[in-house]
Amino acid sequence: MKLNIAVLPGDGIGPEIIRVALDATQAVCDKFGHELHYEYGICGADAIDKVGNPYPEETHELCMRSDAVLFGAVGHPRFDNDPSAKVRPEQGLLAMRKRLGLYANIRPVTTFESLIHKSPLRADLVRGADFMCIRELTGGMYFGRPQGRSEDGNTAYDTCVYTREEITRIVTLAYEYAMKRRKKLTIVDKANVLATSRLWREVSKEITPLYPEVETEFMFVDNAAMRMIQWPTAFDVMVTENMFGDILTDEGSVITGSMGLLPSASIGTHTSVFEPIHGSWPQAAGQNIANPLATILSAAMMFDYAFGLKEEAALIRRAVDASMDAYVRTQDIQADNRPAYSTSEVGQWIFDYLSK
């Protein structure tokens, strides 16, 4: 098979972790006889510095002609600390999601037995946690209009908007994933307060009878946030709207003990994007200390979801598990009294494992 991918390193640690994930991707392609073709594109603060646009047209065209996108991260403190900035790296990310039709963000939350002690939760609570968060990605408050400030600057407003079509699409996808797992779906909303959430619940209840094998529960977002901490093993598949999903998926990520371990996939109508969830960490850029495992696992999701190559994806996941069992780990997850490995050293170890 020919794998035609766009590679967008982005900002901060993005280029370092993408380089490692791309090496792992090449090793798997070589092992299984696939042809890998890739092109680089710019985005985020890097693209603002170079062309003044966080998601240039050339990058969009590259993504559109690719079968998948391997993405690093965007963001830089100079924009975070400047509320008056008119152009921001995150605008490029939102533009990419909208223009590529990336309507569903999929984040698996799994625990690793060798890292249970790194979780902020007690071992008996977190052991065995294995669930999937599905976040609607192109609607809600992040894209709703009107949005802005009053003329005097003393009032700000954002608008949350959802359509029946958007809700039907994401909830149906969530049911399909639940059918492939343990057949339980939690639909998260705030239907006791928000009109958009009441539409979510109404539409979801119309879809529920189509999947009689799936156990469905509806849960308010505040209760879901508590339950994820109190009883993370109770969830199988969770689906929710954009802003709730943004918050809940980050909460879920720390259950594993490190945000550097969790990948994600954004499923789109034109192509799909695979990226780690941890952000750009610009303070660590160039230091060769970032954990590349989430990006490598994102490459595994790319093999699985974009190309249907499950054996290749499974091999990458085994390589990651083996590296942790061998204590070949970066500083964020290394065991006490053991030396930490650099980003490139972890990448080389996994490359060698995949090349055997």
- The model's pLDDT over 273-283, given as tens digits with 9 standing for 90+, comes to 999 988 899 99
Residue type at position 221: V
pLDDT at 334 over 90: no
User: What's the pLDDT band for 261 if we cut at 50, 70, 90?
Assistant: confident
Phi–psi pair at 132, nearest 5 degrees: -125, 125
Q: Per the residue annotation, which of 246, 305, 327, 332 is the catalytic one?
A: 246
Q: Could you tell me the two tokens for 299?
A: 């490459």
Residue 152 designated active-site: no
CA separation for the pair 168, 85 (Å, rounded): 36
Instruction: Compute the distance between CA of residue 305 and CA of residue 267 in angstroms, rounded to an integer.
Output: 9
User: Of 67, 130, 158, 250, which one is the catalytic site residue?
Assistant: 250
What is the residue-averaged pLDDT of the chain? 94
Determine how many CB atoms are found less than 10 A away from the CB of residue 304: 19
Choose, from 103, 118, 189, 190, the residue flagged as catalytic. Answer: 190
Is 123 exposed, middle or buried, given 0-12, 13-18 or 19+ CB atoms closer than 10 A? Answer: exposed
Give, as one character, the DSSP assignment of residue 288: S
Exactly one of 11, 23, 103, 142 is catalytic; name it: 142
Q: Is residue 222 annotated as a catalytic residue, yes or no?
A: yes
Supply 276's token pair.
């780690």
Q: Residue 72 corresponds to which amino acid?
A: G
Q: What is the pLDDT of residues 39-85, one digit of tens each?
A: 999 999 999 999 999 999 999 999 999 999 999 999 988 887 767 77
Among 30, 80, 82, 222, the one annotated catalytic: 222
Higher pLDDT, 261 or 216: 216
Q: Cα dihedral angle (212, 214, 220, 222), rounded to 10 degrees?
A: 180
Q: What is the pLDDT of residue 344?
A: 97
Helix (H) or strand (E) holding 133: strand 130-136
Angle at CA 130, nearest 5°, toward 129 and 131?
120
Mean pLDDT of 151-162: 95
Helix (H, G, I), strand (E, B) or coil at 155: coil
* Cβ pair 29, 36 in contact under 8 A: yes
Structure tokens at 254: 């720390």
